[in-house]
Amino acid sequence: MRDAPSPAGADWFACLGEACREINRRLCTMDRAERTRQFGRGAGGDTTVGVDRVAEDILIDALRRRYEETGDPVTLVSEEAGLMHVGGPGGPVVIADPIDGSRNAARGAPLFATSIAVSDDRTMGGVRYALVFDHGPKEVFTAERGVGAWLDGACLGTPERPDRLRMLAVEGASAARIAAAALTLVGEVGRLRSLGSMALSMCWIAAGRMDALLGLGEVRAVDVAAAQLVLREVGCWVGLPEAEDVDDCPLDVVVRRRVMATAQPDLIDKMRRALGEAAAVSW
């Protein structure tokens, strides 16, 4: 792991980081009515609310400015807008969830992120750069494939591998799914935590704040494209739901997968059993 990203990676992180800071500044000026205003369904199928629309518009503007400065087009895949070309077809694929944790953001709860990945192609295995901006403490997780991962510019080391799941993050945690999975987790897990943001839950494993993540509901590539690289660059296990499913996963807003991630692969079998119970629940 290197102390810093490559020059190309640093350029991308500067561009995307400034867009995220502008999103943060803009959201701070919005009242609850503006945050929760509905704009129909986005390309990913979920209802687009005010925070989603504002964040995506700022990101698109940032990519357009980048094209004007460099002449390099990009293909954007975003949860709200779907597929769009910035500066023409071709170029790297930017896959983004402008607000991961929209329900939290709309209510003013400071547990949500902007998640952006830059890929060589339309598969998860092609992701080269990743940035997850935590809008609460304004922390920035970044990663470059084969180079390393960083938190606010400082190297993220390999997190401790626990002997048991003392702190398990769960997402897609409806009451029915939790109830279905709970019996398999009794005696295996110390505490459950649901942040309401898949990207943050995954990055918190990389930072040693969680031992593992169990995604009880299915998610799209936009939710995990950036965070999965952060985790893999610090040596964590990531599955969709298995590790062999990750690289071929398409970068779109259609395919949905269940996610598991952990700093301790020896504990995966326990998580698989719980996920199997939750998968049988439709809501």
- Indicate whether 197 pLDDT > 80: yes
Pairing of strands 237-239, 212-215: unpaired
pLDDT for the residue 132: 98
- Indicate whether 2 pLDDT > 80: no
Single out the residue of 229, 218, 201 nearest to residue 259, CA to CA. Answer: 218
pLDDT for the residue 1: 64
- Are 258 and 214 in contact by the 8 Å Cβ rule? The answer is no
Least confident of 12-16, 74-78, 178-182, 223-227: 178-182
Q: Which residues contact 269 (CB under 8 A, 6 or more apart)?
A: none
Q: Which residues contact 113 (CB under 8 A, 6 or more apart)?
A: 97, 99, 100, 101, 132, 133, 134, 135, 197, 199, 200, 203
Least confident of 121-135, 144-158, 257-271: 257-271
Instruction: Return the structure tokens found at 53.
Output: 């629309």
Provide the 10 A C-beta neighbour count for residue 254: 11
User: What is the residue type of 259?
Assistant: V
Q: Does residue 236 or residue 175 have the better pLDDT?
A: 236
Cα separation, 150 vs 262, in Å, equals 18
Helix (H) or strand (E) holding 167: strand 165-171
| Average pLDDT over every residue of 105-112 | 92
pTM for the model: 0.93
| pLDDT bucket at 262, cuts 50 / 70 / 90 | very high
User: What is the residue type of 127?
Assistant: V
Sketch out the chain's domains with CATH numbers.
7-155 (3.30.540.10), 165-279 (3.40.190.80)
Q: Does residue 149 or residue 49 have the better pLDDT?
A: 149
| Average pLDDT over every residue of 26-48 | 80
Least confident of 140-149, 167-176, 274-283: 274-283
- Indicate whether 62 pLDDT > 80: yes
